[in-house]
Structure 1
Amino acid sequence: MALCSNRSLIMEREYDLVVIGTGVAGSDVAWHCRKAGMRVAIVDSGDYGGTCGLRGCVPKKVLAGAAELVSRVRGQQGNGIRGAVSIDWPELVAFERTFTDPIPRRKEEGFRGAGIHTYHGVARFAGPDRVAVGGDMLIARYIVVAAGAHARALGVPGEDLMTSSDDFFSLPALPERIVFIGGGYISFEFAHVAAAAGSAVTILQRSGRVLSGFDPDIVDRLLLASVEAGIDVQMNMPLVSIERDGSGLRVRAGRKGEEKTFGADMAVHGAGRVSALEGLDLAAGGVETDRRGIAVNEYLQSVSNPAVYVVGDANAKSPQLTPVAVMDAHIVVDNILGGDGRVADYSVVPSAVFTNPPIASVGLTEEKAKEKGIPYVANAGDLSGRFTNRSIGQKHAGYKILVDEDSRRILGAHLIGPHVEEVINIFALAIKHGLTVDDLTLDAIPWAYPSNTYDIIHMVHPLARK
């Protein structure tokens, strides 16, 4: 116990490891290191559980599942299905909360049961090996920053009037008119949910391209589906300002001299997220930053303080995806426990957008293949007429597959349609293990039929050896 300058008592506690953040990445690091016998403490300024469990993947999939069901039923009208179907928003949110509400208590009880010391409060560095949390000073051999991410500041008048994507999950009622700021996956996923629930929805994208990390041809197909779902997607509409207008909002956007005003009952921030590093006082810990966040090496270790590692969304160099956060955690655990020098590799990361229908991607786009100078062959096509899609009334289904011209190995896969979030994992395995198009044909694997995975043979057949 030490006496600090303001005469209050500071309790010093020593650990092998202190983890800042209780999401999937921080939790995994804490549990694995504790299992290895280390003395571990974990800190969070909010409810235990992190983004994925409380305000990300878990509640999102509940909402998206309801929207998918409504979309499916409406798409099958006239094909043997009759009767109106709708979303009861308060009831849906109550169902969603049966997943999220138990998480904080369950998480903390799990930590304590494992012998991990839990702290609540804002963590800040107080030295290269010290983290202050309220009246406690935690001294550790290793410190892992797993503090997650939050919506980035936009720097426009009235941005405080926006609703965060976090708060969207707990809305007591869904407004009639919603404007989503930004054309990324958060806006598109929520827009499809809101449209299925009956809201008039607009997406404002600052540039001429939405979902920029995905293949543009696949995105164009999704845009058609979005328009049919009643979603108004406005390109080249950077946000200018938001103002109150009676009980609603006036959202102004557009290029200078060409601004438009959109009336809304709610404006939702979906314009990107950044690592949540404010308040950590990184300088006090000797932790250098660059324009993206904490500067880390290939081992996910601070370049300036080797005792500090960064994982999950707090690591701005990695894709902000839950499976990547878990992979980051395993890399850091191996490097802390074994000193193996395990390197982070984000070259094969499948991703999906849970719209109606969903889209999914892995590997290189044509744009990236050209940048790298890789000779490739692309095969694209429509799958809406396939039995698997036509039987459920899905009109928007297709693919684009990229293959190395010389080795015939799969370079990239880009899909739209039912269950593509599952099918894309097959292509991820193929890319990771260097499989060729011939390895995915019916001659090589008798895929289960009927299934969306079976449709792979139609995607690769034109590229396979005759």
Structure 2
Amino acid sequence: MTQVYDLIAIGSGSAANSVVSRCAEAGWKIAVIDEREFGGTCALRGCDPKKVLAGAAELIDWNERMLGKGVQGRTTINWPELMAFKRTFTASIPRASEDKFKQAGMDTFHGKASFVDEDHIRVGDEVLHGKHILIATGAQPAPLPIDGSEHLLNSDDFLELDQLPDQLVLVGGGYIAFEFAHIAARAGSEVHIIHRGERPLEQFEPELVDLLVQKSEEIGIHVHLNAEVKSIRKQGETFVVSGTRNGADHQWHGGRVVHGAGRIPNVDGLELEKGKVSYNKKGIAVNEYLQSTSNPKVYAAGDVAATKGLPLTPLAGQESRAAALNLLKGNHTKPNYKVMPSIVFTVPSLGSVGLSVDQAQEEGYEVKVNDMSQWYTYKRTNEKYAMAKVVIDNDSGRILGAHLLGSETEELINLFAMAVQFELTADQLSTMNFAYPTAASDLGSLI
């Protein structure tokens, strides 16, 4: 007999949590399906475990900067011990996540979900009927047209490496590649980043990216631009990566080769056509309320949905909350995309929020540029790379965007995000008394 549910959620991460929790509180009968461990990408194999590793890289960088400035002796990373520490954050999540769902009265299913028709989902040998269906399956590594691509590790694999190779090759020049490169280099690996374009991290401010590349190369990361991988083959215990750089043939060698060249919506195997769910290369086609444009019983949230949001965990959570309200009360809530701060957790970190510098210049706004490397906040820890670019509307004084590189970026960018969200002016922010001496106390000088 087919089980009937008010809501079937496919996925158990950030994009699903608010939806299933709120609908369960409203008394809905809910099924949650995941083909992998319950808990989602961010908590298990993404943001959270990655930042545990990045924390160790920060310590190494701080130590290196302060040698001869009162600090003696170099700190090193013990990779197996670091990975064991990382697992203390992830090991309990699958069971805890599933228990939470069950305690709220939900049914949980392990397996690959696929549509049978517009309102029926198959998982294993069972077919479930859903009055509503949420797709929250996230993203997966984009397929790469490379001979020998089966030798590539993905980000999940890197975060489970028991031993770090002496040489590491990263294919791609985005978030994943640079974050992993900064971790691996601080842990003693010789790292190569191979990027097809002229500039990596293309969504960030070019001058700040250039400084980050300079820092990366100073710590031993080899950044190869205008380079393309053609094939990967195994030669003994080494992988030989063949391709071109600036049009000439080139080879790189590594103990592991990692895919860091982007992710795509994870719709494989869902058989969306059977469910009459339209999708494109950006993901499942949804309206402004996250409802499928072709099957009104279906909603989608997070990286799998074709929305205005960036593929970031807070945006997945934002969409999850909006989808929950729309399911429970009818379509009336739109996700908030006004402010989408993003961070590359390298060392130093790179951040961005609001209008880009190019947009600001096109629209006639002021861009205040500050090299902060000689400011007390950064000089006290001998930090060489720190810069900020803040976009301000001279007519109203409102802060419209900010672009930062430095050790304090991840917190400062949130203050600027708040300023953009609530349309604060430079004068308002300047009159705020922040604790001193802190990075926040520099805000008045930045604007």
Which of the five TM-score ranges fits, normalised by the shorter chain?
over 0.9
Give the unaligned 5+ runs of structure 2.
none
The answer to whether residue 433 in structure 2 is matched with residue 446 in structure 1 is: yes
* Cα deviation digits, residues 122-162 of structure 1 (max 9, x gap): 00011111111112211111100001111000111111111
Q: 1:132-151 residue pairs with structure 2 within 5 A? A: 132-151=122-141
Distance in 2 (CA, whole Å) between partners of 1:154 and 1:316 is 21
The answer to whether residue 86 in structure 2 is matched with residue 86 in structure 1 is: no
Match of 1:35 in 2: 25
Match of 1:377 in 2: 366
Percentage of pairs with the same residue: 44
Q: Tell me the CA shift for residue 256 of structure 1.
A: 8.1
What secondary structure is seen at the aligned counterpart in 2 of 1:282?
coil
Distance in 1 (CA, whole Å) between partners of 2:226 and 2:340 is 29
The answer to whether residue 339 in structure 2 is matched with residue 348 in structure 1 is: yes
Distance in 2 (CA, whole Å) between partners of 1:367 and 1:389 is 27
Contact 1:375 1:405 in 2 (8 A): no
The answer to whether residue 106 in structure 2 is matched with residue 119 in structure 1 is: no
Q: Tell me the CA shift for residue 278 of structure 1.
A: 0.5
Distance in 2 (CA, whole Å) between partners of 1:124 and 1:42 is 13
Q: Tell me the CA shift for residue 58 of structure 1.
A: 1.1
1:404 to 373, 393, 401: 393
* Cα deviation digits, residues 306-352 of structure 1 (max 9, x gap): 11111111114331111111001001011111114212342310011
Match of 1:171 in 2: 161
Contact 1:418 1:452 in 2 (8 A): no
Q: Tell me the CA shift for residue 434 of structure 1.
A: 1.2
2:286 to 273, 296, 299: 296
What secondary structure is seen at the aligned counterpart in 1 of 2:414?
helix
Distance in 1 (CA, whole Å) between partners of 2:164 and 2:331 is 50
Q: 1:79-228 residue pairs with structure 2 within 5 A? A: 79-228=69-218
* Cα deviation digits, residues 344-385 of structure 1 (max 9, x gap): 342310011111111111001122335xx5221111111111
What secondary structure is seen at the aligned counterpart in 1 of 2:285?
coil
Q: Tell me the CA shift for residue 456 of structure 1.
A: 1.1
What secondary structure is seen at the aligned counterpart in 1 of 2:323?
helix
Match of 1:326 in 2: 317
Q: 1:68-87 residue pairs with structure 2 within 5 A? A: 68-87=58-77
What secondary structure is seen at the aligned counterpart in 1 of 2:227?
coil
Give the unaligned 5+ runs of structure 1.
2-11, 461-466
Distance in 1 (CA, whole Å) between partners of 2:219 and 2:171 is 18
Distance in 2 (CA, whole Å) between partners of 1:315 and 1:439 is 37
Distance in 1 (CA, whole Å) between partners of 2:246 and 2:267 is 33
What secondary structure is seen at the aligned counterpart in 1 of 2:248?
coil
Paired amino acid for 2:446 = M
TM-score, scaled relative to structure 1: 0.94
What secondary structure is seen at the aligned counterpart in 1 of 2:24?
helix
> Relative to structure 2, which stretch is displaced further, 334-343 or 82-91?
334-343
What secondary structure is seen at the aligned counterpart in 2 of 1:109?
helix
TM-score, scaled relative to structure 2: 0.97
Contact 2:360 2:366 in 1 (8 A): no
Distance in 2 (CA, whole Å) between partners of 1:313 and 1:295 is 12
* Cα deviation digits, residues 24-68 of structure 1 (max 9, x gap): 111221111101111111000011111001100110011000110
Contact 2:289 2:331 in 1 (8 A): no
Distance in 2 (CA, whole Å) between partners of 1:185 and 1:59 is 15
Distance in 1 (CA, whole Å) between partners of 2:264 and 2:349 is 25
What secondary structure is seen at the aligned counterpart in 2 of 1:61?
helix
Distance in 2 (CA, whole Å) between partners of 1:340 and 1:449 is 46
The answer to whether residue 226 in structure 2 is matched with residue 239 in structure 1 is: no
Paired amino acid for 1:450 = P
Match of 2:405 in 1: 416
Cα RMSD (Å)? 1.2
Match of 1:358 in 2: 349
Q: 1:208-287 residue pairs with structure 2 within 5 A? A: 208-254=198-244, 257-287=247-277
The answer to whether residue 407 in structure 2 is matched with residue 458 in structure 1 is: no
Paired amino acid for 1:418 = S
Distance in 1 (CA, whole Å) between partners of 2:74 and 2:305 is 46
What secondary structure is seen at the aligned counterpart in 1 of 2:363?
coil
Contact 2:53 2:82 in 1 (8 A): yes
Runs of 4+ residues over 6 Å off in structure 1: none
Distance in 2 (CA, whole Å) between partners of 1:32 and 1:183 is 39
Q: Tell me the CA shift for residue 299 of structure 1.
A: 1.0
* Cα deviation digits, residues 161-190 of structure 1 (max 9, x gap): 111111101111000110111000111000
What secondary structure is seen at the aligned counterpart in 2 of 1:381?
strand
Q: Tell me the CA shift for residue 83 of structure 1.
A: 0.8
Q: Tell me the CA shift for residue 257 of structure 1.
A: 4.5
Q: Tell me the CA shift for residue 419 of structure 1.
A: 2.3
2:359 to 355, 364, 368: 368
Q: 1:16-27 residue pairs with structure 2 within 5 A? A: 16-27=6-17
* Cα deviation digits, residues 2-32 of structure 1 (max 9, x gap): xxxxxxxxxx111100000011111221111
Query: How many pairs align?
Result: 446
Distance in 2 (CA, whole Å) between partners of 1:368 and 1:146 is 32
Contact 1:274 1:316 in 2 (8 A): no
* Cα deviation digits, residues 256-281 of structure 1 (max 9, x gap): 84121111111100000011101000
